[in-house]
Structure 1
């Protein structure tokens, strides 16, 4: 995963999320918002069980494959992109997608 301090202009605070997730290291975790195609993309990035994890949602809007590709490029280095995989289908959040990478 990239050093996420590079994304500080997009970093936001969310006390609820911060209370339930260990996001204390700004290099590899945080909460971010990006404006894309006229909508706000909400993102949480963290290390989960040794895996790098990026969770993304547009609220009630479905994410396209182009959105997911764009997101992966924001959070992962070019040489890591081939090792990034999407979480299993059937996650409880209908409009949330998850990217993972095992370092």
Structure 2
């Protein structure tokens, strides 16, 4: 995963969520908001069980393939993207998609 401090202009502070999800290292975790086609995309990045994890959602729709491709480029370097995979469908969170990478 890239050094996420590069995305600080998009970082959102939420102490409750940060503590709940152990998002204490700004280099590889955090909560972010990006504007995509006039709508806010909510993103959480973390290290989960040793895997790098990025989840994305909108209030009222599922992120598209294009949204996820764009998102991967924000969080992973080109060489890392070759090892990024999307979690299987059927995850319980409405409107949420996930990217994972095993370093």
The normalised TM-score by structure 1 is: 0.96
Cα distance in 1 for residues equivalent to 2:67 and 2:89: 17
Say whether the 8 Å CA contact 2:28–2:45 is kept in structure 1.
yes
Q: Could you tell me which residue of structure 2 aligns to residue 31 of structure 1?
A: 31
2:16 aligned with 1:8: no
Q: Could you tell me which residue of structure 1 aligns to residue 67 of structure 2?
A: 67
Offset from partner CA, 1:19-77 (integer Å, 9 cap, x none): 31111100000000000101000000000000000010012112110000000000000
CA RMSD of aligned residues (A): 0.8
Structure 1: runs of 5 or more not aligned:
none
Structure 2: runs of 5 or more not aligned:
none
1:1-103 mapped onto 2 (5 Å cutoff): 1-103=1-103
Cα distance in 1 for residues equivalent to 2:89 and 2:14: 26
The normalised TM-score by structure 2 is: 0.96
- The farther-off stretch of 8-17 and 27-36 is 8-17
- Find the residue that maps to 1:83 and give its secondary structure: coil
Cα distance in 2 for residues equivalent to 1:39 and 1:67: 11
> Deviation above 2 Å: which 4+ runs of structure 1?
none
Aligned pairs, number: 103
